[in-house]
Chains A and B, each alone.
Chain A
Amino acid sequence: FPAQLKLESSSNRDLEDLKAYLDRFFPLLTKTPSLSLEDRIKEMQRFFHLTLTGKLNAETKETMKQPRCGIPDIAN
């Protein structure tokens, strides 16, 4: 039971980190309708030439950890 709880809390944190990353570097542009989280993940995976899964997989998580510039990746 605690393992499950731990698992959930870490995946919640991953999800929060992911949304913060997407909001910061792949912000929803005012003109585009609200994209699904899966589409937003694909947008990031496409930019970084990752496998397009629409899911927070290991290589996407690894990319998010890379030191980087603070400017968004889609120019807006």
Chain B
Amino acid sequence: YETFPGNPRWRKRHLTYRIVNYTPDLPQKKVDDAIRRAFMVWSDVTPLKFQRVFKGHADIMIQFARGEHGDGYPFDGKGKTLAHAFAPGEGIGGDAHFDDAERWSEYNQEVNLFLVAAHEFGHSLGLAHSNVQGALMYPLYSYVNPATFRLSEDDKRGIQKLYGRKSS
């Protein structure tokens, strides 16, 4: 695993997130659930807790966008780049953006939202890319069944280096 230079991390264990807008590809409830489960991937192995808020600013703002979307890192249409996120910090720090030129799905067609969201939230929490194939933080997308998804030891070591283990 890798962390970002300077090891940016959240100094609090209770983080908020807000789903700013939705993709038309999935029912909103499916998006809500995929995002909730993606955060659970990380809260299951650390002391972190995630609370959803519905207005105002949240630590992690989640949005779907196409092309240039105001952060200076334009998306590139269908395929290639799927999403990006920012390391922990004020303002745009922690935010996650998903390219709505992709076709987001809850299964094995096109791009699975749960898997990409879990990866991006790893960045939102301070993990950079891992070169371990099979790790969630590996940069290339590959489908695994979300129902049987398990965080790799590499990912777990990285996130627990930043936030410690979940207290029993």
Contact = CB atoms under 8 A, between A and B. Distances in A.
A76 interface: yes
Nearest to A25: B139
Nearest to B84: A70
Interface of A: 25, 47-49, 63, 65-73, 75-76
A26 to B, nearest CB: 11
Given A67-B79, A68-B81, A69-B119, A75 B139 contact: no
A69 B80 contact: no
Contacts of A65: 79-80
Contacts, number: 59
A49 B130 CA distance: 12
Interface in B95-131: 102, 111, 116, 119-120, 123, 128-129, 131
Interface residues of B, number: 26
A67 B140 contact: yes
Given A67-B140, A68-B81, A68-B82, A75 B119 contact: no
Interface stretch (B2-10, B14-22, B32-40): B2-10
Contacts of B102: 67
8 contacts: A48-B140, A49-B131, A65-B79, A67-B82, A69-B119, A70-B83, A75-B3, A75-B128
B141 A70 contact: no
B5 A70 contact: no
B85 interface: yes
A71 B79 CA distance: 15
B42 interface: no
B140 A71 contact: no
Contacts of A71: 84-85, 123, 128-129, 139
Contacts of A66: 140-141
